[in-house]
Amino acid sequence: MIPAFGVFDAVSQETLEMFNSAAFYWAGKEPAAQWFAAMPFGLNAQGMNGWYFHGGALSLWEKTYAPFNLVPRPAGSTDVQMGGWFRKKINSIEDYKGLKFRIPGLGGKVIAQAGAADGEGDRVAGQE
């Protein structure tokens, strides 16, 4: 059994043949990977597909993953996501301090800088 966050390495090392995951989870292996997934204030699903298939992004993504022996392909989209559901109203940047929040990728880095923490209270989840 391969854990969820082990699939990138498992396919890279030819233990598995393929995996399907959001590219932002692999920022720890290659920071550029997160640009090939949903971004805060980024493109919607149609915009991402246009970028992949008509704007050269697929070629960039392939070059980004080539050193890992991986060939990426777009497969589905979660599309634009809302910021979350909260118990209290967020009125200012100060309201993020200590807020338990799970958000991966570049959005997670921004929220962490604002002071949010994961359920363990130490960092925003998804920043592995």
**pLDDT, tens digit (0-9, with 9 covering 90-100), for 110-123:** 888 888 876 544 44
Percentage of the chain lying above the pLDDT 90 cut? 45
- pLDDT of 92 over the 80 cut: yes
Domain ranges of the chain: 4-68, 82-128
pLDDT for 39: 78
Please name which of 23, 76, 72, 24 lies closest in space to residue 45, comparing C-alpha atoms: 76
Confidence (pTM): 0.76
For 40-73, what is each residue's pLDDT tens digit?
A: 778 888 999 999 999 999 999 999 999 999 999 9
Instruction: Kindly write down the DSSP assignment for every residue of 39-98, as one continuous string.
Output: -TT---HHHHHHHHHHSSHHHHHHHHHGGGT----------S------SS---SGGGGTT
User: Which pLDDT score is estimated for 118?
Assistant: 63
Write down the number of H helices and E strands in the chain.
4, 0
Burial annotation 6-42 (CB, 10 A radius, 16+ → b, else e)? ebbeebbeeeeeeeeebbbbbbeeeeebbbbbbeeee
Between residues 96 and 69, the one the model is more confident about: 69
